[in-house]
Structures are given as C-alpha cells and as structure tokens.
C-alpha cells in the first residue's frame, strides 16, 4: 500500500513539475527578455501567475504526503528539486507584473 501511494505521489509531483514548466515557458515568452511585462500582456501574465500559484499550493500537499510516505518507507530526507514546488518562480513573475 505504501509503495502504491509513493508511486502515485511521485507521478503527481512529476506532473506538477511538468505543468509548472509549461506555464513558466508561457510567462517567459510574454516577458520576452524584459524586466517587466508589457502593459498589453499584463492580463494574460497575471492569469498564468495565478495558475502557477494555484499549482504550487496543490503541489505542496502532495509533496508533504510524499515525504511522509517515504519516511515510513525508510527514506526520511527526500528532497529532490523536481518533486518539490519552486517558491521563487511565482515571486519572480509576480514582481515582473508590477510596474
């Protein structure tokens, strides 16, 4: 049962990582090398930032569940970057949306 739960949570966290990359790519394209989003792109950018933030909040629940499951399986210090939400991404793009 723990092994199945571990596999499900790893798949979910990996899925979140992939989705984060897709949304981050859209924001990167909108930013187009500038420090701030253009005014015409702000609405779209804010929508993507909300998406990233919602994803991050859902992801933390699964990540902590995975950490607990792995601890029960004898791996107490699981800390793989691709399984854990990146807190800096939302802050970076949120700052770029402030003009």
Domain ranges in the chain?
2-96
Task: Write down the pLDDT at residue 81.
Answer: 85
Task: Write down the pLDDT at residue 79.
Answer: 83
Query: 21-27 long-range contacts, Cβ below 8 Å, gap at least 24?
Result: 23/48, 23/51, 23/52, 23/55, 24/52, 24/89, 24/93, 27/52, 27/93, 27/96
Task: Write down the pLDDT at residue 73.
Answer: 93
Task: Write down the pLDDT at residue 51.
Answer: 96
Task: Write down the pLDDT at residue 77.
Answer: 83
Q: Please, is 9 exposed, middle or buried when counting C-beta atoms within 10 Å of its C-beta (0-12, 13-18, 19+)?
A: buried
pLDDT tens over the chain, length 99 residues: 999 999 999 999 999 999 999 999 999 999 999 999 999 999 999 999 999 999 999 999 999 999 999 999 998 888 888 899 998 999 999 999 997
């Amino acid at each position: 049962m723990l092994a199945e739960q571990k596999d499900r949570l790893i798949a979910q966290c990996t899925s979140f990582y992939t989705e984060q990359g897709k949304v981050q790519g859209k924001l990167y394209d909108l930013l187009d090398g500038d420090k701030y989003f253009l005014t015409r792109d702000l609405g779209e950018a804010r929508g993507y930032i909300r998406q990233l933030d919602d994803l991050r909040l859902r992801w933390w629940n699964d990540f902590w569940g995975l950490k607990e499951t792995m601890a029960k399986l004898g791996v107490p210090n699981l800390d793989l970057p691709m399984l854990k939400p990146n807190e800096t991404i939302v802050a970076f793009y949120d700052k770029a949306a402030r003009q």
